[in-house]
Amino acid sequence: MTPTTAFGHALLNAPWWIAGLLIIGLILHIAGGSIGILSGYAAVSVKKGADWHRAAGLAFVLGMLVMSAAAVGLAVPLHEPSNVAGGVLTAYLVATGLLAVSRPPGAIGTAEKAAFAVILAIAAAMLGWAAQAWNSPGHALAGFSWVLYFVFGCIASALAATDLRVIRRGGLLPHERIRRHLWRMCFAFFFASASFFLGQQKVMPRAIHGSPLLWVLGLAPLAFMIYRLVRTRPRTRTSAAAMPAE
């Protein structure tokens, strides 16, 4: 950590108790992310539905929520709007992924409607920041190009559209619950693994910077997701027709 970073400047200029809170937040962020990544790999490696899968999945949920909460807590005083939205987006994916298998088929509740409101707000914020960045010098905002805000705004908008369809239908079919759980958890897992293995190489030994292994570890959650989605796809035209697309 150097004083040239936003975090370093905050530590140097803040009262001791605020600096202490920032350090605690950073420790929680790192610890939560580490637990999330390790338990995520464990969850995708063991038999689905077994006790080990449930235990790893619970650790993944808790780790990711701690990581996301700490990221938001750090981003607010550091004036990093993209990290606020990113932390909320990750927590939303984990929470709705868990809710998909916790809620009985064909049921909908307040939690789904609240999640829809949250992701809709994130989409509006991201697209608004994209427009603001486009109109700023260098087409950037808070150090990030307008493209980043626009891409994540589109992702959040697509997620909001899927939520709205589920709410209007009154819930998910049994087969849809598993697939929704799968791809939402894997997307959250991907955000964490890519952020660390691809985005934080500066904290790793210089010898492995740019290593193909880091790319494999960073992108592996997407491969797991595609594999499991193929395995859980409807087997017949009849079952596919009976299952509205989410």
Backbone angles phi, psi at 103, to 5 degrees: -80, 135
**pLDDT higher than threshold 80 for residue 19:** no
Is 229 contained in some domain?
A: no
- State whether residue 155 is helix, strand or coil: helix
In sequence order, what are the beta bridge partners of 110? none
Is 127 contained in some domain?
A: yes
Who contacts 24 (Cβ-Cβ below 8 Å, separation ≥6)?
Answer: none
Is 145 contained in some domain?
A: yes
Give the model confidence (pLDDT) of 138-161 as tens digits: 888 877 889 989 999 999 999 999
CA distance readout (Å), 108 to 100, 118, 162, 170 = 10, 16, 14, 6
- Residue 118: which domain range? 108-170
Is 154 contained in some domain?
A: yes
Predicted confidence at residue 149, as pLDDT, reads: 92
Question: Whole-angstrom Cα distance, residue 97 to residue 180?
Answer: 6
Give the model confidence (pLDDT) of 67-83 as tens digits: 999 999 888 877 788 88
Question: Whole-angstrom Cα distance, residue 129 to residue 135?
Answer: 10
Is 123 contained in some domain?
A: yes
Number of domains in the chain: 1
